[in-house]
Amino acid sequence: MRSVAAFAVVLALVVAPAAATAAGFLPPAGKVYWGGQGGYSAAHIGDFERQSGKHPAVFNYFISWRASEAAFHWLSFRLADARAQGTAAMLSVSPDDTGLSPRDLAHGRGDAFLVGLNRLLAEHGEVTFLRPLAEMNNANNPYAPYDLSGRSRGPANALRQLKNAWRRIALIMRGGPVALVDAQLRRLGMPPVRTDAAELPRPPVALMWVPLSFGNPEIPKNHPRHYWPGARYVDWVGTSWYSPYKASRAMDSFYRYPLWRSMPFAFAEWGVWGRDDPAFVRQFFSFVKTHPRVRMAVYYQSALLKREFRLSAHPGSRAVLRQATRWPRLTGAAP
């Protein structure tokens, strides 16, 4: 009987859906993580705190899908900077400069990076927010299924391949016995993990699914609902919001969409773009305060601190923001 029971446990693990990790490492009840981005050094994290008026609980880095020793070495320093500054790293991961398509990722051709990142984040040991394939319904990203005219980019970028790529990322990054990961991949019609390891570490990682709220181009087939990989593969749902696009009703519609209306919500990118716009900062905080599932707000200054996004170039918005970040529910304490 013991062997039968043991087999039943293993079988349940194989067929059970992947569970969201530690409830996504949410902030304390009623709190909202404050976050920022812009630059790649510890000094940039400190500068964002001075500019915004609050220490960031989360700081975003944009990274490539490269599995080289040099790339992982560079990333280890970024993670160390975040730890030294008392902030959690968010990693926005894109295959843009590698030539890898969604089909390549779904078929395991990006596994060397994922396996390496899994190990690196386990060694890091701190909570990390992972945002792969961000804005996947934005035609400006080469992995998007449709171009700006709405035409298909072909079978390598097909929607099914993109969703499977996301699921593969989630299964590998959460780790566990490789045999169980392979079994779940097989059920999804994907090949096994490309690794000789029998077990992958289980790093403290939260997976963030972050499309545009209505797609670019804004056509029915590009609505984010078509890209949903399933709640079992997602810890946070989020989107981007910038000052030229002020439609709160449209953002509210995305926030309340039935497929993800029970998930914690993040603004993984938001900010003033172009001209100074203090009114948008007020509008943004009004939205956050009236939508309790919003648990993270990460201000975007661009990776290289371009002037059209930089807080120091928007003094009016910066002044309003510094006042807004005094809100007691906004926390700069990392998970």
Residues of the chain with pLDDT under 50: 1-20
- Give the model's pLDDT for residue 28: 97
Question: How far from the centroid of its chain's Cα atoms is residue 157's Cα?
Answer: 20
Nearest partner of 87 among 33, 131, 135, judged by Cα: 33
- Give the model's pLDDT for residue 22: 57
Measure the CA–CA gap between 71 and 35, rounded to whole angstroms. Answer: 24
Domain ranges of the chain: 34-331
Q: Are 60 and 29 in contact (CB under 8 A)?
A: no
CA atoms within 13 A of residue 175's CA, in its CB half-sphere: 18
231-262 pLDDT, tens digit per residue, is 999 999 999 999 999 999 999 999 999 999 99
Q: CATH classification of 34-331, choosing from 3.20.20.80, 3.40.50.300, 3.90.1330.10, 1.20.140.10?
A: 3.20.20.80
- Give the model's pLDDT for residue 23: 64
Measure the CA–CA gap between 310 and 302, rounded to whole angstroms. Answer: 7
Nearest partner of 89 among 69, 75, 110, judged by Cα: 75
